[in-house]
Amino acid sequence: MNPVLPVRHFALILLGAVLLLIAASILTAVGTARALTPPVARLRGSGTSAGLTKIRSRFASLIASIKRGCTTSVHKVLKMRGRKISTALNVIARSVARRFSLKLRTLVHAVERILHVKLTRAQESLVSFMVLRDYVSKVYQHMLVARMISKGRMHVVSLPVATFRYGNVVIYRVDTAVRVIGDGPANPYPINTWIQLAVDVYGGSGHTGIWPYDVNGNNTLYKVVVAYNSTTAIYTLYFYDEDCPNPVLDKIYDALRKLIYGRTIDIESFYVKNGEIVFADIWSGSHPYAYPIGQHGYCARPYKPGVAVYVSNVWNHAMDTVNTNPGMQTIVWRT
């Protein structure tokens, strides 16, 4: 018997196994990439149903009054510093919720009817406050960033997320174009690593501590915009959506956000200055992902080269440089 033949057979078998492993890795990568890219309808905010269009028209005056009340009050908060910011924004949201409580309940009832959902009265009040609290935070961040950019003569760079790691799989995206406005100094505070919970992207159910969650996912971090000058860097993060951990509340939450903000895309900002990363009204504190009402806190963390930001410590993309969900699987994004 020729002893060479078994060796050749073994080599062929080994080569076939290697090729199968490579093919499996490619298929896994492609499948993962597709899973991280929401459908076009979702990407654009799912469109607006005929029912929501009618509700928006019917409640146009209420929606305008809510937005005007929030915006007028938030202007005063821009002068504040530290934890007073989040405290003041809490007060504004509660004040607006009380002022329009009856009309807001009517609005929520209308949304419930078209979505075929029925909340308890306590849930109706809760989801109304959650949306208002999120809205005043968005208004504050938008005003703060606009003011800092206008006063600081900043350069703006748009950075689509180029790569990510999920387990041992690394995916390279094709939409890696960078848009730069103006010429100037290098970013004094570069941050290139963003860590998002896998459940926030893929969906799933479970518990974090005593809090349950059941979410759809598709809330991928898809773009980071940094505005900077020689002393300051402002980071604005774009997510396709955010999921309230209660799936019934999430339906109403998303609909109300569409009515009031006009979108479900989630946009969050923080800045780095004087060697500190300042999470102004978007700090997660010690809360885990499924903290029911979301979190809006203030904290300044020391900046260090190579620092990573955990962008979904809480489901509403409250963040920190500290991980509050150490037992959960994550995706590491690079810009």
Distance CA 279, CA 319 (A): 8
Alpha helices in the chain (DSSP H): 4-35, 40-43, 50-58, 60-77, 84-99, 101-115, 121-152, 198-202, 247-260
Q: What is the DSSP letter of 236?
A: E
pLDDT value of position 13: 58
User: Is residue 193 within a helix (H) or strand (E), and if so which, with residue range?
Assistant: strand 193-197
271: which strand partners? 234, 278
239: which strand partners? 221, 266
The model's pLDDT over 53-100, given as tens digits with 9 standing for 90+, comes to 999 999 999 999 999 999 999 999 999 999 999 999 999 999 999 999
pLDDT value of position 150: 86
The model's pLDDT over 164-216, given as tens digits with 9 standing for 90+, comes to 666 655 554 433 333 444 455 789 999 999 999 999 999 999 999 899 999 99
Q: Phi then psi for 149, rounded to 5 degrees?
A: -65, -45
The model's pLDDT over 13-44, given as tens digits with 9 standing for 90+, comes to 555 654 555 454 444 444 444 444 443 333 33
Distance CA 267, CA 145 (A): 12
Supply 69's token pair: 């009340």
pLDDT value of position 17: 56
pLDDT value of position 168: 56
196: which strand partners? 331
* DSSP string for 40-84: HHHHTTS---HHHHHHHHHTHHHHHHHHHHHHHHHHHHTT--TTH
Distance CA 8, CA 20 (A): 18
> Are 270 and 278 contacting, i.e. CB atoms less than 8 angstroms apart?
yes
Q: Apex CA 332: angle with CA 326 and CA 335, to 5°?
A: 140
Supply 106's token pair: 């009517």
Comparing 153 with 287, which gets the higher pLDDT?
Answer: 287
Q: Phi then psi for 296, rounded to 5 degrees?
A: -135, 95
Comparing 197 with 160, which gets the higher pLDDT?
Answer: 197
With a cut of 70, say whether residue 122 has pLDDT above it. Answer: yes
pLDDT value of position 157: 86
Distance, CA of 55 to chain centre: 26
> Are 293 and 130 contacting, i.e. CB atoms less than 8 angstroms apart?
yes
With a cut of 60, say whether residue 151 has pLDDT above it. Answer: yes
* DSSP string for 309-335: EEEEEETTTEEESS-S-TTS-EEEEE-
* Global model pTM greater than 0.85: no
